[in-house]
Structure 1
Amino acid sequence: MTPFPRSPRLIKGALFSVDQKNPVATRIVFQYNPDTMTRRLEARSTGGGDASDRSEAFRLTGPPKETITLNIEVDATDQLEQVDRLALDEGVSPVLAALEVLLYPKSEFVIKNEALARNGDIEIVPPEAPITLFVWGKSRVLPVRVTGFSITEEAYDVNLNPILAKVDLTLTVLSYFDLKVDNPGYNLFMAHQIAKEALAATNLKSAVNNASGAPA
């Protein structure tokens, strides 16, 4: 069936891994947008508790800790029907691998650090991971850390390559509380908070109009 010509183009969620030493970002575009997403926010504050100073009850030490969980599906069925060479050879393994390497230090640094350790160098600095961005529409671009995920492989081809899988992702949002000022993610989060404050201001206007019975 031909889609309605004036139907809006669907924007897909994605993860971008941006390595400052490599200008080409790794893009993991969600094949299907998840139906639901869970966001948990936990306040950073000094108040609360029996032994706390009552004058500190409303004092915030930083933006809330935010955790995002969502489920994405990866399916090679359409690509297999179109005789896509990569899907025929690997199934959905490339997408799963792109997700998994977000949790790996790069092998070149592991090898380099191992060589330094063998030479007696005791000041080995753990490698820094690329910046990972969670993109969910134009107004939500957040620096995140992929803290974990589970993969359920549900179907395989004759070579045991997975051709259908579901991934439960857990992301921790990184704010200006977590990042250095010169990190690009610092400004991205600050822009996100400013946009959120502007959005909250529109809700205040709507609430006032609703209370007064005036049209919005």
Structure 2
Amino acid sequence: MANNGFSRSPLLLKGALIEFSERFIGPLPNIIIFQYNPASMSRSLEVYNPFQTEEVTDEEGQVQSVNYSISADAQPHDPPESFSLELELDATDDLEIGDPIAVATGVADRIAALEMLLYPQEESLLGELLGAISVSIGGGGASASTSAAAEPVPRGRVPVLLFVWGPGRILPVRLTSFNVDEQAHSPILYPTQAKVSLGVQVLTLNELNAYQDSMSKDLAIAAYKFTRKQKQVLAASNVANTVQSILGMLPF
């Protein structure tokens, strides 16, 4: 929250991205607060088409159109939702007060924090410790070649990420696009002003359930359900406000 200097003005909530990294013991939040809230934000929901067809060839070589929908009112899953926004980063104020990080790196630290959301997280300290204990206990029971063959190929994973836009919109997301426009630089060429364009895809319950069980997964599912419940409450409020108008419009 930030105060704009006027005592009677409401506190301004700032948007943020919260990364739950499990590089340590348990998920630790890395909160990236937006320096300035974007002036605008685009949001889209993908509409499921129950009338979609696909051409297939039968055993006799005839091309036929097949409708895969069960019925016209079919909706097999929550609609995929995505956001796109631009973040303004500026080190001018921090440079004026002599902030040591801004003097040394400008806004490069903020850009790096955003970029790291795209990188696979390293093995957690707890995981490395358990692995070392397992190797010590299992010691000489198998040859090196056998152990190497049995070891699974590591698969990189990005941490769970929450997009926070006020109390009514806290959603688990995955970054889908990332672009940086560095607009000014320090004498040693660190960026001091930059614009970061982000695209994020909201993760639905079906996608979250495929994640490995963890505390951060539970937090992501809880956030999704919380935001969806608020959307249902807002929709119900709109229905209550328009009942009288609808009754006046119906001819029967």
TM-score by length of 2: 0.74
Q: CA deviation at 1:156?
A: 0.3
1-structure distance, mates of 2:178, 2:26:
25
- The structure whose Rg is larger is 2
Q: Which residue of 1 aligns with 2:47?
A: 43
2:28 equivalent among 20, 24, 28: 24
Q: Within 5 Å, which residues of 2 pair with 1:110-129?
A: 119-120=148-149, 123-129=152-158
User: Can you give the 5+ residue segments of structure 1 that lack an aligned partner in the other structure?
Assistant: 113-118
Deviation at 1:122, TM superposition (A): 6.1
Letter in 1 for 2:18: F
| C-alpha distance in structure 2 between counterparts of 1:74 and 1:53, whole Å | 47
Tell whether 2:145 aligns with 1:141.
no
How far apart are the structure 2 equivalents of 1:206 and 1:27? 38
Larger CA deviation: 194-203 vs 44-53: 44-53
Contact 1:47–1:58 under 8 Å retained in 2: no
Question: Secondary structure of the equivalent of 1:56?
Answer: coil
Q: State the shift of 1:22 in Å.
A: 4.2
Q: Find the counterpart in structure 2 of residue 204 from structure 1.
A: 239
Aligned-residue offset at 1:211:
4.2
Q: Distance in 2 between matches of 1:108 and 1:177?
A: 25
CA RMSD of superposed structures (Å): 2.5
In structure 1, distance between residues paired with 2:97 and 2:244: 54
Q: Identical aligned pairs, as a percentage? A: 37
User: Structure 1 97/57 Cα, relative in aligned 2: closer, same or farther at 3 Å?
Assistant: same
C-alpha change, 1:158 and 1:121, in structure 2 (3 Å) is farther
Q: What is the aligned partner in structure 2 of residue 87 from structure 1?
A: 102
Which amino acid in the other structure matches residue 83 of structure 1? Answer: G
Task: Say if 1:45 and 1:62, in contact at 8 Å, map to a contact too.
Answer: no
Establish whether residue 161 from structure 1 lines up as the match of residue 163 from structure 2.
Answer: no
Q: In 1, distance between residues paired with 2:157 and 2:245?
A: 50
Gaps of 5+ in 2: 54-64, 129-147
Q: Distance in 2 between matches of 1:150 and 1:174?
A: 21
The answer for the alignment partner of 1:194 in structure 2 is 229
Larger deviation: 186-195 or 82-91?
A: 186-195
Flag the 1:55–1:127 CA change in 2: closer, same or farther, 3 A: closer
In the other structure, the counterpart of 1:68 is: 83
Residue of structure 1 aligned with 2:16, choices 14, 17, 24:
14
